[in-house]
Amino acid sequence: MLGENHSIHREFPDHHQKIDELVLNDPKFKALVVEHDKLDKEIRGLEMRESPVGDAQMEQMKRERIRLKDQVYQRLNHA
């Protein structure tokens, strides 16, 4: 769905407390979350404004968002 919010807190609703704790105590985890949410916001903005960005570029951005989400998930399960 275009413009759907994929922020980390929305993607992992059962882990809000753990996410918040890790953001406060783990700088690497915080950097992943910030980078993911920033990229998600950029993607949503482009989708909503129908900005001129090529399909290949949009797909690359979405793949990067998935990669970051996977890294966050791995850290959530190993913390």
* HSE-up (13 A, CA, CB side) for residue 26: 17
79 residues of the chain, pLDDT tens digit each: 577 899 999 999 999 999 999 999 999 999 999 999 999 999 999 988 877 788 899 999 999 999 999 999 999 999 7
Total residues belonging to the chain: 79
At 1 the pLDDT is: 58
67 CB-near residues (< 8 Å, 6+ apart): none
CB 64 within 8 A of CB 40: no
What's the CA gap between 60 and 68, in Å, rounded?
12
